[in-house]
Amino acid sequence: MPVSESLSTLLYELAMANRIVAHEGVLDAFGHVSIRHPSNPSRYFLSRSRSPELVEVADIYEFDLDSQPVVTPKQAMYSERVIHGEIYKARPDVMAVCHHHAPSILSYCITGEKPVAVYHLGAVIGTDPPFWDQHDEFGDTNMLVQKPEEGASLARALGNHSWVLMRRHGATVVSTNLRELVFRTIYGARNAEYQTQAKLIGKVNALTPGETKMAGTLPLQPNTTSRAWEYWSTRLAKRGAMPAQSAKRATAKRSAAKRSAPKKKSGGKKR
> Cα–Cα distance between 19 and 21 in angstroms, integer?
6
Domain count for the chain, please give it. 1
Domain of 118: which CATH number?
3.40.225.10
For residue 265, being part of any structural domain is answered with: no
List, for the chain, all residue ranges whose pLDDT scores fall below the cut of 50.
1-2, 247-256, 261, 264-271
For residue 200, being part of any structural domain is answered with: yes
For residue 268, being part of any structural domain is answered with: no
Segment 228-266, tens digit of pLDDT = 999 999 999 999 999 997 544 444 444 445 555 455 444
> Cα–Cα distance between 248 and 11 in angstroms, integer?
8
> Cα–Cα distance between 66 and 140 in angstroms, integer?
24
> Cα–Cα distance between 95 and 87 in angstroms, integer?
10
* Residue 176 confidence (pLDDT): 95
For residue 269, being part of any structural domain is answered with: no
- Cα dist from 18 to 22, 95, 167, 214, whole Å: 6, 15, 23, 28
For residue 270, being part of any structural domain is answered with: no
* Residue 221 confidence (pLDDT): 85
**CB < 8 Å & 24+ apart, contacts of 130-139:** 130/157, 130/158, 130/159, 130/161, 130/163, 130/164, 130/165, 131/157, 131/164, 131/165, 131/167, 132/157, 132/158, 132/164, 132/165, 132/166, 132/167, 133/167, 134/166, 134/167, 134/169, 135/167
- 231 Cβ partners below 8 Å, 6+ apart? none
* Residue 2 confidence (pLDDT): 47
For residue 31, being part of any structural domain is answered with: yes
> Cα–Cα distance between 134 and 159 in angstroms, integer?
15
Active-site annotation, residues = 80
> Cα–Cα distance between 189 and 170 in angstroms, integer?
11
Contact 254, 2 (CB under 8 A): no
What is the maximum span of the chain, computed from C-alpha positions, in angstroms? 80
* Residue 49 confidence (pLDDT): 98
* Residue 218 confidence (pLDDT): 86
For residue 146, being part of any structural domain is answered with: yes
Domain that holds residue 220: 5-260
Inter-helix orientation angle 103-111/178-201, to 10°: 70
**215: buried, middle or exposed (CB in 10 Å: 19+, 13-18, 0-12)?**
middle
